[in-house]
Amino acid sequence: QKCDTSKHKVLAVSICPQSLPYFAAKFSLSVNDAAKRLCGFLKSLGVHYVFDTTIAADFSILESQREFVQRYQRRNQEEHALPMFASACPGWIRYAERVLTNLVTSHICTAKSPQQIMGSLVKGYFARQQNLSPDKIFHVIVAPCYDKKLEALREDFYTALYNSQEVDCVLTSGEIVQIMEQKNVSMKDVTEVAVDSLFADKKEGDIVRHDGKRSDGYLEHIFKHAAKELFGMDVKEITYKALKNKDFQEVTLEKDGETVLRFAAAYGFRNIQNMVLKLKKGKFLYHFVEVLACPGGCLNGKGQAQTEDGKPDKALLNQMEDVYAAIPVRLPESNLHVQRMYQDWLEGMDSKKVQETLHTKYSAGNQTASNLDIKW
């Protein structure tokens, strides 16, 4: 009652798609019910808006697709054009910047991760729609992993003009469950509330996802897009070939008996190390690699798929993978809101504003003992 109301902020929470299967599996709910109940719980705490970050992943994938095609076309002129590494995993980015340095950072796709694009959408687009200054919104992300907390603190995701971070706080899925337990609330007792949309007073429909079994599916989307744009080939189904283990797989495209595209998915630190070793030796065959720090991908983030003693909860993870696989897939290109925002908000697909809003840059720090503090 004594609080200065002029300092009140609009509280917005954005939920990552890989967090929802955790709530669905843990509480035996459908993914759509889990989203609505999670929204209902957050709003019971005083949250004003609850968003789904799938639209941010749409932008991130579309920008990554275009960047890959451009890099491929420049591969003979630019030494660091290829391979291109995915940029969505903050654990991988942190390791690349602090330990691997220039060897790798110039190869990382400059498209922001879905988390940080969501920050731009909420503090940029949504704030403008609501006639709010960005610093009047406190933006929380619910995510599967702890590294996203570090990502939110990056200096390049801060707007000096408004003294505002794009993402103010990150809570893991497990931390949300801890809040429920502290309040003695069960998901099954919470009222269902439809998830909000960034657009006017609309509500989101059913949950959709991108191609890819355990992540946002950068490899699959970029592969299909590159096959079409560079070689005029329509790829419907992708065949993964497991190499040393199920977390290191490759996908190839052949045309006229020649391999024209070679992509890989490398999940977990051991596979990342092997990949970097090949790069150092000059024996790197891949054009694009989807790199994720967690074995098993984003669903296996340490903020949600672990038992109380810190070990992977394999039974829960299997359930989560089944839940995630059952969510309908929607292509980023088919999202009409995204197409409209490119024109109305971002001033066209090739504009300076797209570069400023949807892309970032990476700094290669010098390797010191403190650079080896990353827990995998």
Q: How does pLDDT run across 4-22, given as a tens digit for each residue?
A: 777 789 999 999 999 999 9
Contact 168, 16 (CB under 8 A): no
The full 3-state SS of 194-255, as one line of letters, equals CCECCCCCCECCCCCECCCCCCCCHHHHHHHHHHHHHHCCCCCCCCCEEEEECCEEEEEEEE
In terms of domains, do 177 and 71 share one?
A: no
Residue 162 lies in a domain: yes
In terms of domains, do 291 and 248 share one?
A: yes
Residue 29 lies in a domain: yes
Two tokens, residue 206 = 């059913």
Residue 373 lies in a domain: no
Burial of 196 (0-12, 13-18, 19+ CB in 10 A): buried
Planar angle of CA 373, 375, 376, nearest 5 degrees: 140
Residue type for position 269: F
Residue 319 lies in a domain: yes
Tell me how far apart the alpha carbons of residues 73 and 62 are, in angstroms, rounded to a whole number.
Answer: 17
In terms of domains, do 166 and 281 share one?
A: no
Q: How many domains does the chain have?
A: 2
- Return the pLDDT at 152: 93
Burial of 20 (0-12, 13-18, 19+ CB in 10 A): buried
Question: How many CB atoms are located within 10 Å of the residue 248 CB?
Answer: 19
CATH at residue 202? 3.40.50.1780
In terms of domains, do 126 and 196 share one?
A: yes
Of 112, 136, 185, 138, residue with least CA distance to 14? 138
In terms of domains, do 262 and 170 share one?
A: no
Contact 109, 68 (CB under 8 A): yes
- Return the pLDDT at 310: 76
How far from each other are the two terminal CA atoms of the chain, in whole angstroms?
A: 45
Mean pLDDT across the chain:
91
In terms of domains, do 243 and 201 share one?
A: no
- Return the pLDDT at 81: 93
Residue 369 lies in a domain: no
pLDDT tens track, the chain, 376 positions: 677 777 789 999 999 999 999 999 999 999 999 999 999 999 999 999 999 999 999 999 999 999 999 999 999 999 889 999 999 999 999 999 999 988 899 999 999 999 999 999 999 999 999 999 999 999 999 999 999 999 999 888 887 777 889 999 999 999 999 999 999 999 988 999 999 999 977 788 899 999 887 788 899 999 999 999 999 999 999 999 988 888 999 999 999 999 999 999 999 999 999 999 999 898 899 999 999 999 989 999 999 988 777 787 899 999 999 999 999 999 999 999 999 999 999 999 999 999 999 999 998 764 443 444 455 4
Of 83, 85, 103, residue with least CA distance to 93? 85
- Return the pLDDT at 366: 47
In terms of domains, do 320 and 230 share one?
A: yes
Tell me how far apart the alpha carbons of residues 154 and 160 are, in angstroms, rounded to a whole number.
Answer: 13
CATH at residue 259? 3.40.950.10
Tell me how far apart the alpha carbons of residues 11 and 284 are, in angstroms, rounded to a whole number.
Answer: 46
Two tokens, residue 119 = 């920050």
In terms of domains, do 163 and 91 share one?
A: no
If you search the block for the tokens 């991760």, which residue do you land on?
113
Query: What does the chain come to in residues?
Result: 376
Residue 252 lies in a domain: yes
In terms of domains, do 202 and 225 share one?
A: no
Residue 374 lies in a domain: no
- Return the pLDDT at 372: 45
In terms of domains, do 323 and 289 share one?
A: yes
3-state secondary structure (DSSP) of residue 35 = helix
In terms of domains, do 269 and 320 share one?
A: yes
In terms of domains, do 26 and 153 share one?
A: yes
Residue ranges making up the domain that contains 86: 63-111+211-332
- Return the pLDDT at 157: 85
pLDDT, one tens digit per residue, over 267-287 is 999 999 999 999 989 889 999
Residue 370 lies in a domain: no
- Return the pLDDT at 363: 83
- Return the pLDDT at 369: 37
